[in-house]
Amino acid sequence: MDYLNFDFDDDEDQQDEMSELTSPVDAQSVTEVTDTAEEKRRDDSSETDLEIEDIDRSFAVTIKGAELYTEACKLVGVVPVSYFIRNMEESVMNLNHHGLGPKGTKALAIALVSNTTITHLELEDNWILGEGTTYLVQMLRENCYIQEMNISHNHLNTDGAEAICRMFYNNISNIRAIQLAGNDFREESAIYFSESLMTNYRVIELDLSQNEFAEKGGELLGQMLANNESLEILNLSWNHLRMKGAVALSAGLRANGSLKTLNLSWNGFGNEGALALGEALKVNTALTELDISSNHINNEGTMKLCKGLEVNGSLKILKMAYNPLSVEAAIALVTSVRKNSKSRMEEINISNVLVNEGFIRLLDVTCQMRPELDVIYGGVGGHFTKKPEQRSDAMKLIQNYLDEHKLRLWDFFRNIDKDGNMKIPVADFRKAMMLQSKIPLDRLQVRELIRKLDQARTGYIDYSHLKVQEPEKPKEEMEEEEEI
- Could you count the other beta carbons within 10 Å of the beta carbon of residue 397? 16
- Could you count the other beta carbons within 10 Å of the beta carbon of residue 267? 26
Strand positions, DSSP E, 273-342 = 289-291, 317-319
CA distances from 177 to 7, 36, 197, 205, 235 (A): 24, 40, 13, 4, 12
- State residue 280's pLDDT score: 98
- What are the structural domain ranges in the chain? 1-212, 218-387, 394-481
- State residue 383's pLDDT score: 54
Rounded to the nearest 5°, which phi and psi values hold at 375?
-115, 120
- State residue 477's pLDDT score: 53
C-beta of residue 238 within 8 angstroms of C-beta of residue 208: no
Closest to 156 (Cα-Cα) out of 181, 121, 197, 184: 184
Chain Cα centroid distance, residue 370: 28
Helix (H, G, I), strand (E, B) or coil at 209: coil
Q: How many residues belong to the chain? A: 484
The tens-digit pLDDT sequence of the chain (484 residues) is: 332 233 434 444 444 444 443 333 332 332 333 343 344 333 433 333 335 555 554 454 567 789 999 999 999 999 999 999 999 999 999 999 999 999 999 999 999 999 999 999 999 999 999 999 999 999 999 999 999 999 999 999 999 999 999 999 999 999 999 999 999 999 999 999 999 999 999 999 999 999 999 999 999 999 999 999 999 999 999 999 999 999 999 999 999 999 999 999 999 999 999 999 999 999 999 999 999 999 999 999 999 999 999 999 999 999 999 999 999 999 999 999 999 999 999 999 999 999 999 999 999 999 999 999 999 999 987 555 445 566 788 888 888 888 888 888 888 888 888 888 888 998 899 989 888 888 888 888 898 888 888 888 888 899 888 765 444 555 555 455 455 5
- Strands 317-319, 347-355: pairing is parallel
- State residue 7's pLDDT score: 42
| Residue range 1-212, CATH number | 3.80.10.10
State the Cα–Cα distance between residues 456 and 450, nearest whole angstrom: 11
The DSSP H or E segment spanning 376 is strand 374-380
State the Cα–Cα distance between residues 286 and 253, nearest whole angstrom: 10
Can you name the CATH fold of 218-387? 3.80.10
Model-level pTM? Answer: 0.81
218-387 and 394-481 have identical folds: no
Helix (H, G, I), strand (E, B) or coil at 122: strand
Q: What amino acid is encoded at 434 in this protein?
A: M
Can you name the CATH fold of 394-481? Recoverin; domain 1 (1.10.238)
Q: Which residues make Cβ contacts (< 8 Å) with residue 142, sequence separation at least 6?
A: 18, 19, 21, 22, 113
